[in-house]
Structure 1
Amino acid sequence: MPSTPSTPSASTPEPASTPARPAPPGLWRDPDFRGLWTGQTASQLGEHASLVVLPLFAVLTLHASPGELGVLRAVGQAPILMLSLFVGAWVDRWRTRTTMVLTDLGRALALGAAAVAGLFGLLGLPALLVLAFTVGALSVFFDVAYQASVVRLVPRDQLVRANSALEGSRSAAQIGGPALGGTLVSLLSAPIAAAWSALFFALSFLSIRRIRRAESIPERAEHSPRVWRRIHEGLRFVTGDTVLRTVCLASAAFQFSFAALMTVYLLFLPRELHLSATVVGLALTAAGPGALLGSLLAARLPRRFGYGKVLVCAAAVGDGIFLCVPALHGSSAATITALLAIGFVFGCGGQLVNVTIMAVRQTVTPATMQGRTAATITFVGMGTTPLGSLLGGYLAQEWGLRTSLLTTAAAMLLSPALMSLSPLARMDRDLPPSPDAPQTATHAKH
């Protein structure tokens, strides 16, 4: 499900996109899109590396307990719950390029400082908690801004291709990030691994700065709505739309269960299966090639079989594959091969869902509401992850790793079940009409 790794002001006609210009002959000939794609790739690579580095450092170096690991993951995810709605209201009135550049710079500085602290032996659990919260907060700004920027940079008829390309970049990051993070922690140290993540965020900063297309900032009315009213407008818009409401519920179910599962999974691999940090990184990396394939399939399958069928089937297969993990024992080649296959299937199914859902969401949302809609869905969906991480740590401590893993894997199937009972499952081969399009007879019929 999308992170799931939007809406506008009612008082003024906000031009959330730039002045119209002829569509470029292709996405890759557009230097602005290339800058966004390169920056997104580097940013995701740094983020996925750090998501492995910090927990592995806590488990292998600080010997963190299951409860402490759950707290660390929850602290890193807490900004989603605390900030998403505010960020969505702000991003709709800011230049997305400026937001992404500043957050990349902030994450690079935070991880760079952590690397220096680690080299001097000052990177303890309290410092990790502060670092995780800081990087998580900045990531909320970046994620909402880049999702809103896609609609401003790309013509509507190329949204699926653009999202497929961007999700493909995230897949590439999933391939290299966990493997790089696990290998650096295993062979060198967590501070060195953190420094590498900082370099990737710096590369993203430089790439996104290359975007030259001017963005129109909405003029502020003399009595423009306060932030709370804008947040309320976003919440009301999402809850009032059946498709977006279903996306929220399914995303919340998935993210809660997946956060709990990953907390247990990161303990299960090194402590129950006795895998090294490098192998753990490889197991997590397996989702990357699968997600890369999922991105390619997402540009074709929905138009052939229908958006609804692809969403439900991909979610059911991708989420259900984790039910196989508790049956594994030992660190044999067969176990490692099975983990790689499971990660590949999960990545492929998850990416199909991510790309398809994002295209549907962007299509049914007015241009002036993109930031708040993305933030509202992020708040409802990803906002459950801190609670899921805490639950995963509690279950691992009280029930044992194998039982907890089976329970959390089964809970992930609630997400495709919710989608199968909603209008999402009945969507055909064509996307719904855009609310920004002229109201033709066909649109009125829809």
Structure 2
Amino acid sequence: MTGTGARTAAATTAALPPDPPVSLWRQRNFAALWSAHTVSQFGTQLGFFVLPVLALTTVGATPAQLGLVSAAETLPFLLVGLPAGALLDQWDRRRVMVVADAGRAVALGAVPLGYAFDLLSVPLLCAVAFVTGLFTVFFDIADQAFLPEVVGRRRIAGANSRLEFSRSAAELSGPGLAGLLLQWVTAPLVLLGDAVSYLVSALLLGAIRPPGPAAGTAVGTAAGTDPRPPAARERMRTRIAEGLRFVLRHRALRSLALATAVANLAGLGGALSALLPAFALRDLGLSPGRLGLALTLGNACALLGALFTARLVRLLGLGRLLLAARCLPGLGVLLLATAEPGRAVPTLAVAAGLIACGVTAYNIAQVSLRQAVTPAALQARMNASVRFVVWGTLPLGAAAGGLLGSVVGPRPALWAVAGVALLSVLPLLLSREIRTLRDFPEDSGN
């Protein structure tokens, strides 16, 4: 084709509308990633509910000891979070996720073995929690850095909404299912379900073949965003420092990290992980089944957060949604502190609903924003730096919450925790970059 004919064909092609994007559900790689995420989340919710019940009922742990178990699971983020991010910007992220899932399955398998040989103790639970948390560090950082590879940068928010919906569905049914199972079998055997879910997740992740860098190739280099040679020529501390500098110098990322860090001190992975089970099972006299029912009813609100976050962003603007969502968990803890035995289930259900809805909407918005503003070559290091800050407060919150609950009692400790949770909105409120955001930026500048 020559001359005018070629120009005419080109003009005709340019005038045609672009092909509609393929649905995320029809993308094989995302479908496998979503399936792995969903199976793993259901197993995780079983473990999240059963482990404290096991510590309180079978081992006889105090709130302070329960806080130590929770702290052990999140301590690895303080110890290896930053170097993990530097390594994961060079390693095959999918392969790391597969190994991490298998490692978590093996670690959790130690609990039923310990029970069978009468070796269950607080130190053993701490050790299992620590090893599980160590693998979780690598899995979670790789997971968030891997998603843009699978779906593309423009579809991050939609993909995160689907993944968050799965997490919310697991939170909705997990506690009720765990409470029901505990009526039939012992807690260590229920934890086998969590271990099996990690193995299934590893198999599904192994089936993913994303476009982009070949296995073992530095992700940033293969994507054409980082022309430097592999990390053998670059010192580890330099790469870690790059990730930290990027987060600390980016005003929106810095505000998000600080707000989330304060919230996590008080949240379900922090102080509440030690206070809520002890308060519900001992002070309010609930059975594991009734506690599971209350959390199941409340967690239904997490589905609302997952379903309507994108619409709320369009209606309110991204900044206002982040502010509102950050306040809801604090209000939920305030309500939780007022619970009495006669109305424990409805009070806990409403409190859990406020917490779940706020956390879900906030996580979808803030994770999507972080991914959208970060170049591909810095995704893992950004996630590691943010996780170092926001997850680093979890062991401190869990240990402090358990200690405070043992000293003054769970109810007074909950009032203090509610105050900390409400204060977490201040970094966002004081940040003009967050307050004025209307939508997610489409170009990270890479």
**TM-score of the pair, normalised by structure 2:** 0.89
Give the stretch that moved more between structures: 112-121 or 357-366.
112-121
Q: Which residue of 1 aligns with 2:7?
A: none
Q: Does the alignment pair 1:54 with 2:51?
A: yes
Q: Which residue of 2 aligns with 1:175?
A: 172
Query: Residue deviations 1:374-422, cap 9 Å, x none?
Result: 1111110111111111111111111112111111112101111221111
Contact 2:85 2:382 (C-alpha < 8 Å) held by counterparts: yes
Contact 1:261 1:409 (C-alpha < 8 Å) held by counterparts: no
Q: Which residue of 1 aligns with 2:84?
A: 87
The alignment partner of 1:412 has SS state of helix
2:182 maps to amino acid: V
Within 5 A, what are the aligned runs for 1:255-404?
Answer: 255-258=264-267, 259-330=270-341, 332=342, 334-404=343-413
The alignment partner of 1:48 has SS state of helix
TM-superposed deviation, 1:140: 1.2
Within 5 A, what are the aligned runs for 1:61-80?
Answer: 61-80=58-77
Contact 1:160 1:355 (C-alpha < 8 Å) held by counterparts: yes
Q: Does the alignment pair 1:232 with 2:229?
A: no
Query: Residue deviations 1:340-395, cap 9 Å, x none?
Result: 12212211111111001111111111111110111111110111111111111111
The alignment partner of 1:300 has SS state of helix
The alignment partner of 2:60 has SS state of coil
Within 5 A, what are the aligned runs for 1:18-37?
Answer: 25-37=22-34
Any stretches of 5+ residues in structure 2 without a counterpart?
1-18, 222-228
Relative contact order (alpha carbons < 8 A, sep ≥ 6): 1 or 2 greater? 1
1:391 maps to amino acid: A
Q: Which residue of 1 aligns with 2:104?
A: 107
The alignment partner of 2:234 has SS state of coil
Within 5 A, what are the aligned runs for 1:231-250?
Answer: 231-250=240-259
The alignment partner of 2:233 has SS state of coil
Q: Does the alignment pair 1:430 with 2:445?
A: no
Separation of aligned partners in 2, 1:181 and 1:132: 19
Separation of aligned partners in 2, 1:287 and 1:87: 35
Give the stretch that moved more between structures: 359-368 or 214-223.
214-223
TM-superposed deviation, 1:237: 0.7
Q: Which residue of 1 aligns with 2:3?
A: none
Once superposed, which parts of structure 1, at least 4 consecutive aligned residues long, lie more than 4 Å away?
A: none
Separation of aligned partners in 2, 1:390 and 1:237: 30
Give the stretch that moved more between structures: 350-359 or 177-186.
177-186
Separation of aligned partners in 1, 2:416 and 2:337: 10
Contact 1:284 1:343 (C-alpha < 8 Å) held by counterparts: yes
Separation of aligned partners in 2, 1:352 and 1:427: 18
Q: Which residue of 2 aligns with 1:253?
A: 262
Give the stretch that moved more between structures: 338-347 or 178-187.
178-187
**TM-score of the pair, normalised by structure 1:** 0.89
1:241 maps to amino acid: H
1:133 maps to amino acid: F
Query: Residue 368 and residue 381 in structure 1: after superposition, are their counterparts in 2 closer, same or farther (change >3 A)?
Result: same
Q: Which has the larger radius of gyration?
A: 2
Q: Identity percentage over the alignment?
A: 37
Separation of aligned partners in 2, 1:294 and 1:426: 20
Contact 2:332 2:350 (C-alpha < 8 Å) held by counterparts: no
Query: Residue deviations 1:135-171, cap 9 Å, x none?
Result: 1111111111110111111122211111101111111
Give the stretch that moved more between structures: 258-267 or 345-354.
258-267
Separation of aligned partners in 1, 2:151 and 2:205: 15
Separation of aligned partners in 2, 1:214 and 1:114: 39
2:357 maps to amino acid: C
Query: Residue 212 and residue 287 in structure 1: after superposition, are their counterparts in 2 closer, same or farther (change >3 A)?
Result: farther
Q: Does the alignment pair 1:163 with 2:174?
A: no
Query: Residue 69 and residue 155 in structure 1: after superposition, are their counterparts in 2 closer, same or farther (change >3 A)?
Result: same
Give the stretch that moved more between structures: 90-99 or 274-283.
274-283
Query: Residue 30 and residue 215 in structure 1: after superposition, are their counterparts in 2 closer, same or farther (change >3 A)?
Result: same
Q: Does the alignment pair 1:150 with 2:147?
A: yes
TM-superposed deviation, 1:261: 2.9
Any stretches of 5+ residues in structure 1 without a counterpart?
1-21, 438-446
Contact 2:74 2:130 (C-alpha < 8 Å) held by counterparts: yes
Separation of aligned partners in 2, 1:23 and 1:224: 43
Contact 2:325 2:361 (C-alpha < 8 Å) held by counterparts: yes
The alignment partner of 1:435 has SS state of coil
2:385 maps to amino acid: T
2:34 maps to amino acid: W
Query: Residue 215 and residue 103 in structure 1: after superposition, are their counterparts in 2 closer, same or farther (change >3 A)?
Result: farther
Contact 2:332 2:353 (C-alpha < 8 Å) held by counterparts: no
